[in-house]
C-alpha cells in the first residue's frame, strides 16, 4: 500500500468517529486533507458539523468541500480535533509543524475536548526528535532569539535553521506572520523539559512539541489501521 493510501485510510477511520452536531478542529497537512475530503463527502450526505480550520490552506479546502466553518471567537470550545503529525511516540507525544501550522493547530487542539491524530505508520517513533523540531518565532529580534534558543540546546551547538520558502531566498512566513526555526536535534529524551525551556525564550511564539494533547491515534500500516491510546 502506498503512503498516500495509508493516510487516506487513517483519515477515513477518524471521519467515522464524527457525529452530527460536533464542533470540530480541522488539521493541516496531506493527511488532514484526506480527512477534509472525506468529511466533505459526509457533509454533502447530511452530516451536520461545524469546523475551525487550523490554517488558511485548510480553510480553502474545507470551503471548497462545503464544510461549514466558524472561528474560536464564535465557538471557543470544540468537541474533537483531527490532525496529522510528523512524529508520534508511544505516549502519544507528537512533533508537529512540518507544514508550519503548529501554532494554530495547538490552539485548536487545546480548545478541543479530544484530539485524534491520523498518520501512516512511518510517523511512529520510539523517541521524538529525528524530525526537525519546528520553533515559531517573531521576526523582530531574530538574531537574539536564535542565540537564546542556542543556549537551550547548549550541548548540541545549534539554534535551528531558518525555514525558507520552497526554493526561494525569502523566509517561510506562517499564517500568523512569524518565521520558523527547524532544530535538528536527533533525539529529544525529555520532551516536557525541552518544551518548558523553549516557551521561556522571549520571541518564541510556539514549538511543535504536542504533549498531553492527543487522546488517540489512528495509524495506517501495510496491514490496515491500528489504534494507539
- Sign of the torsion angle spanned by Cα atoms 7, 8, 13, 15: positive
Q: 163 by DSSP, 3-state: which?
A: coil
101 contacts ligand 5RP (rule: CB under 6 A): yes
Q: Return the SS3 of 88.
A: strand
Which set of grid coordinates corresponds to residue 92? 502519544
Residue 104 or 146: the one with the smaller Cβ distance to ligand 5RP is 104
Based on the shown chain and the rule CB under 6 A, indicate whether residue 89 belongs to the binding site for ligand 5RP: no
For the chain, the C-alpha Rg in angstroms (whole number) is: 17
Instruction: Identify the active-site residue in 105, 126, 136, 169.
Output: 105
Interface with ligand 5RP, residue 86, by CB under 6 A: yes
Find the part of the chain contacting ligand 5RP (CB under 6 A) among 74-82, 100-108, 148-156, 161-169.
100-108
| Minimum CB–partner distance for residue 174 and ligand 5RP (Å) | 9
Smallest separation, CB 46 to ligand 5RP (Å)? 28
Is the Cβ–Cβ distance between 67 and 46 less than 8 Å? no
How many residues at the interface with ligand 5RP, by CB under 6 A? 18
What residues have CB less than 8 Å from 223, skipping those under 6 apart? none
Catalytic residue positions? 105
Amino acid at each position: 500500500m502506498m503512503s498516500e493510501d495509508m493516510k487516506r485510510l487513517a483519515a477515513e477511520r477518524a471521519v467515522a468517529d464524527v457525529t452530527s452536531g460536533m464542533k470540530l478542529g480541522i488539521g493541516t497537512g496531506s493527511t488532514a486533507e484526506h480527512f477534509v475530503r472525506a468529511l466533505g463527502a459526509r457533509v454533502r450526505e447530511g452530516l451536520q458539523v461545524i469546523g475551525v480550520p487550523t490554517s488558511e490552506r485548510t480553510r480553502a479546502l474545507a470551503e471548497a468541500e462545503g464544510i461549514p466553518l466558524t472561528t474560536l471567537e464564535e465557538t471557543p470550545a470544540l468537541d474533537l480535533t483531527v490532525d496529522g503529525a510528523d512524529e508520534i511516540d508511544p505516549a502519544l507525544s507528537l512533533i508537529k509543524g512540518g507544514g508550519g501550522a503548529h501554532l494554530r493547530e495547538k490552539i485548536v487542539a487545546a480548545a478541543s475536548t479530544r484530539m485524534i491524530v491520523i498518520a501512516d505508520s512511518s510517523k511512529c517513533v520510539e523517541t521524538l526528535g529525528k524530525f526537525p523540531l519546528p520553533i515559531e518565532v517573531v521576526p523582530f529580534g531574530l538574531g537574539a532569539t536564535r542565540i537564546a534558543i542556542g543556549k537551550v540546546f547548549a550541548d548540541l551547538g545549534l539554534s535551528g535553521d531558518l525555514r525558507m520558502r520552497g526554493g526561494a531566498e525569502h523566509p517561510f512566513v506562517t499564517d500568523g506572520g512569524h518565521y520558523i526555526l527547524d532544530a535538528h536535534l536527533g533525539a529529544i529524551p525529555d520532551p516536557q523539559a525541552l518544551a518548558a525551556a523553549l516557551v521561556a525564550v522571549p520571541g518564541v511564539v510556539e514549538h511543535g512539541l504536542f504533549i498531553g494533547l492527543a487522546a488517540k491515534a489512528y495509524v495506517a500500516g501495510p496491514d490496515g489501521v491500528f489504534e494507539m491510546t
